[in-house]
Amino acid sequence: MVEITTLSELTIDGKLSLGPKASSKDLFDFYESDLRVWFHEQRASHAAIMVGSGTVISDDPELTVRHAPGPNPLRIIPSSTGRLPLDAKLLNDGLATIVVVSRMAKIVDVEALAMKPNVEVLECGESSIDLVALMDILDGRGIKSMIVEGGSRLLHSLHQAGLVNRIIIKHIPVITGSTEAPSYMNPYALGGAFDLSRWRLVECFSKGGIAVTIYEPLALRP
């Protein structure tokens, strides 16, 4: 089983970024280096790291461990079509990345990704990525822990599938005032709303004025 931890920065008004087209990297400006070190220690303590294709497009993240000692986790990007920006940092730095595509992906897009250094393309799912099947494949490859850093649609799908074991929230003390900025989850994209799930607070601390809360499920849904 792959233990999944989601790690998100959330504003007071429950947003993942300052506006609809904004990068979540803008939220980094609101905290200091000691929290950044802790954040990268979390990355280093997981075998894999995942963000959705939307985050690759909006944020162009590296998803590496730079502010703390430790290994880089294997990067995993679900993208049904395989149409990612070919100049994305994580496709070009030579560090290991798996792009997960569906059967819908065109050969030309798959080939363009597979030409990138140390990028593997894995097919899993008919029209979007089957996250449950993907976790089984990764488990079979010995990947036992994964940190998921968003965005909204991917978090929604993981929660909907009951795959999340731990939630970490960095509470950024700003109110965006934007109704269009993405929220922690996005029920409009894939699959719609789902049942209530209850979580218990297992840890709570603050670093440089930013509260960090960690939750685990009271009971995992069957």
Ligand X SMILES: NC(=O)c1ccc[n+]([C@@H]2O[C@H](COP(=O)([O-])OP(=O)(O)OC[C@H]3O[C@@H](n4cnc5c(N)ncnc54)[C@H](OP(=O)(O)O)[C@@H]3O)[C@@H](O)[C@H]2O)c1
Q: Which of 129, 135, 164, 210 binds ligand X (CB under 6 A)?
A: 129
Minimum distance from residue 217 beta carbon to ligand X (Å): 20
Does position 128 interact with ligand X (CB under 6 A)? The reply is: yes
Does position 42 interact with ligand X (CB under 6 A)? The reply is: no
Whether 122 and 98 have beta carbons less than 8 Å apart is answered as yes
Task: Count the residues of the shown chain that bind ligand X, applying the rule CB under 6 A.
Answer: 31
From 42-50, 89-97, 110-118, 150-158, span contacting ligand X (CB under 6 A): 150-158
Does position 150 interact with ligand X (CB under 6 A)? The reply is: yes
Q: Which of 24, 42, 64, 176 binds ligand X (CB under 6 A)?
A: 24
From 8-16, 42-50, 114-122, 198-206, span contacting ligand X (CB under 6 A): 8-16
From 33-41, 86-94, 147-155, 203-211, span contacting ligand X (CB under 6 A): 147-155
Token pair of 151 as six digits: 């965005």
**CB burial of residue 7 (10 Å; 0-12, 13-18, 19+):** buried
- Strand 3-11 to strand 119-123: parallel, antiparallel, or no bridges (unpaired)? unpaired
Closest CA relative to residue 163, chosen from 180, 145, 176, 189:
145
The mark string for 153-192 relative to ligand X (x by CB under 6 A, - otherwise) is xx--x------------------------x---x---x--
Nearer to ligand X by Cβ, of 20 and 218: the residue is 20
**CB burial of residue 32 (10 Å; 0-12, 13-18, 19+):** exposed
Give the separation between CA 100 and CA 139, rounded to whole angstroms. 15
Nearer to ligand X by Cβ, of 95 and 184: the residue is 184
Nearer to ligand X by Cβ, of 27 and 95: the residue is 27
The mark string for 60-99 relative to ligand X (x by CB under 6 A, - otherwise) is ------------------xxxx------------------
Whether 161 and 116 have beta carbons less than 8 Å apart is answered as no
Nearer to ligand X by Cβ, of 66 and 218: the residue is 66
- Strand 210-217 to strand 199-207: parallel, antiparallel, or no bridges (unpaired)? antiparallel
Buried b (16+ CB within 10 A) or exposed e, 189-204: eeeeeeeeeeeeeeee
**DSSP letter, residue 191:** S
Whether 17 and 24 have beta carbons less than 8 Å apart is answered as yes
Measured from the Cβ of residue 222, the count of other Cβ atoms closer than 10 Å reads: 4
Where on the chain is the footprint of ligand X (CB under 6 A)?
8-9, 16-17, 23-24, 27, 51-55, 58-59, 78-81, 128-129, 131, 149-154, 157, 182, 186, 190
